[in-house]
Amino acid sequence: MSESTTSNVTAQEKLVTDIRAVISDAEEILLATADQTGEKIASLRARIKERVLDARIRLDAAEEVLIEKTRAAARATDDYVHENPWQAVGIGAGIGFLLGLVLGRR
């Protein structure tokens, strides 16, 4: 997986987490104002409910895209390893060697 793909996936994961937090906060506001009456509060609650529903739909779509990108990256990695087994072994050994050096110095 390339560095830009990794950063895109990380950004999307953060977006999903942020949207979940907003939805949770909006739901808490709806619960806290459930006993409030009046035209303004009813209108506000209706708008919040619509936006929470829209956010949930968008969140589901973002999660699907994120899952598909992750699967595509895993498939690409699997294909690369199958096409270049010795190179993959060499890369793994090199990373293991470097980790051993770093951990051995502590």
Give per-residue pLDDT as tens, 16-73. 788 888 888 888 888 888 787 788 778 887 888 888 888 888 888 888 888 888 899 8
Cα–Cα distance measured from residue 16 to residue 4, given in angstroms and rounded to the nearest whole number: 18
pLDDT tier at 75, thresholds 50, 70, 90: very high
Cα–Cα distance measured from residue 34 to residue 63, given in angstroms and rounded to the nearest whole number: 30
pLDDT of residue 4: 60
